[in-house]
Amino acid sequence: MATRQTLMRAVRVFEFGGPEVLKLQLDVAVPIPKDNQVLIKVHACGVNPVETYIRSGTYSRKPLLPYTPGSDVAGVIEAVGDNASAFKKGDRVFTSSTISGGYAEYALAADHTVYKLPEKLDFKQGAAIGIPYFTAYRALIHSARVKAGESVLVHGASGGVGLAACQIARAYGLKVLGTAGTEEGQKVVLQNGAHEVFNHREVNYIDKIKTYVGEKGIDVIIEMLANVNLSKDLSLLSQGGRVIVVGNRGTIEINPRDIMIKESSIIGVTLFATTKEEFQQYAAALQAGMEIGWLKPVIGSQYPLEKVAQAHENIIHGSGATGKMILLL
């Protein structure tokens, strides 16, 4: 189905590099959905750290150039392919992936990566679900195999994935601890499922956590910055505890004896390894969270499409994120 508007604004990347390679173009062709694809009129798009790694060319997955970044859009179905029967024009939706890229006025997506957005959530919140919530769910349920009653520390809890992890962990009956680097961040973490929060900028915050949890230690740590925290994490774990590495920006030295003594594990997580069936399973759980009300994305800084380079700069170099960064269209 052709749409009436044939050209749109979209961010294009023609070469890998710094934020300056993000080019806003005004004359990009609006894609046309085929088969199981849908075309979404984008109202908001989430910005994720992984998009900066891909843009810089340092990530293991390199898209073919030129490309439009962005996977987490929320908006309204504009047109559907011949075999995309689950959706119709006008449906409010969000995505966990796009085909054509989300930093654009229109985005093409496969229908199995598109989900209905309940009326109680706005488009900004819809754009904050994709990577953060699916990653947090995979980390906690699939990788850590958490059980109700266990303790979890979300190390870096005030960003998009961190707050999602706090909400999910609390809903699943865990004892939730979080860290944040600002007063505002700590407040938001407590408001979104954490029983206790610690300031990871304080020199002795690890000692405070140890005192709080006692000799048993922590069963699961969701780690957002492994190159800084992994060694500390190993000292906090319980017998058989596990660190789930969600984010990392460099190398770190650890003492493997810390793992041996406690028979603990370090497990990596990437959403890109998730199967279609797993996505459907996670989506069912998250959809329930939206209906019941425990899944409530917290929105952080918001940027117009023109300021996309600034957004990419700030998500990596900004001090202490609170909530999810969003592009508004």
- The 10s digit of each residue's pLDDT in 149-183 is 999 999 999 999 999 999 999 999 999 999 999 99
* 87 and 112 co-located in one domain: yes
Mean pLDDT, range 114-132, rounded to an integer: 97
Q: Is 115's pLDDT higher than 90?
A: yes
* 154 and 30 co-located in one domain: no
* 35 and 80 co-located in one domain: yes
Q: Please report the DSSP string for 158-203 in residue order.
A: SBHHHHHHHHHHHHTT-EEEEEESSHHHHHHHHHTT-SEEEETTST
The span from the CA of 42 to the CA of 44, in Å, is 6
Query: Can you give the pLDDT at residue 4?
Result: 56
Q: Is 47's pLDDT higher than 80?
A: yes
* 201 and 168 co-located in one domain: yes
Which residues 6+ apart lie within 8 Å of 205 measured at CB? 179, 198, 199
* 170 and 80 co-located in one domain: no
CB 316 within 8 A of CB 325: no
Query: Can you give the pLDDT at residue 3?
Result: 45
CB 58 within 8 A of CB 52: no
* 155 and 63 co-located in one domain: no
Give the rounded distance of the alpha carbon of 134 from its chain centre: 7
CATH code: domain of residue 15:
3.90.180.10
* 114 and 136 co-located in one domain: no
Query: Can you give the pLDDT at residue 327?
Result: 98
| 236 within some domain | yes
**Token representation of residue 136:** 């947090």
Query: Can you give the pLDDT at residue 5?
Result: 59
Mean pLDDT, range 189-216, rounded to an integer: 97
* 145 and 226 co-located in one domain: yes
| 148 within some domain | yes
| 282 within some domain | no
Query: Can you give the pLDDT at residue 318?
Result: 81
Q: pTM to 2 decimals?
A: 0.95
* 254 and 152 co-located in one domain: yes
* 306 and 268 co-located in one domain: no
Range of the domain at 309: 7-128+297-328
- The structural domain count of the chain equals 2
* 220 and 159 co-located in one domain: yes
